[in-house]
């Protein structure tokens, strides 16, 4: 993905399932402080609470930004086809 800088400390950047806390779903990158990584897509969907702004997603990360912040990048929302 363009703009992703691998974390030089851990050298680990991978696809993960997570629950992301955000006010809206317009952005495509999220600070690690807003991301809770889980083991499976099912776990992410079970823990998601859209009414409380917690959304299930498949992400790539963590990657260190040019500002030194660890970020996760959106691959897809897991509930994208679910009704609002």
Give tens-digit pLDDT for 40-82: 999 999 999 999 999 999 999 998 888 889 999 999 999 875 4
- Is 1 a member of any domain? no
Q: 44: how many CB neighbours lie within 10 A of its CB? A: 25
User: Would you say the pTM of this structure is higher than 0.85?
Assistant: no
Residue 2 belongs to some domain of the structure? no
Any long-range contacts for 6-11 (C-beta under 8 Å, 24+ apart)? 6/63, 6/64, 7/62, 7/63, 7/64, 7/70, 8/64, 9/64
Question: pLDDT tens for residues 8-41?
Answer: 555 557 899 999 999 877 889 999 999 999 999 9
Examine residue 56 and state whether it is found in any structural domain, yes or no: yes
**Number of domains composing the chain:** 1
Q: Which residues constitute the domain of residue 32? A: 14-77
**pLDDT, position 84:** 41
């Amino acid at each position: 993905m363009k703009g992703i800088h691998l974390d030089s400390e851990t050298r680990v950047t991978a696809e993960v399932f997570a629950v992301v806390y955000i006010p809206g779903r317009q952005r495509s990158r999220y600070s690690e402080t807003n991301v809770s990584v889980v083991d499976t897509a099912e776990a992410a969907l079970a823990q998601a609470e859209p009414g409380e702004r917690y959304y299930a997603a498949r992400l790539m990360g963590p990657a260190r930004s040019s500002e030194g912040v660890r970020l996760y990048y959106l691959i897809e929302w897991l509930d994208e086809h679910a009704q609002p």
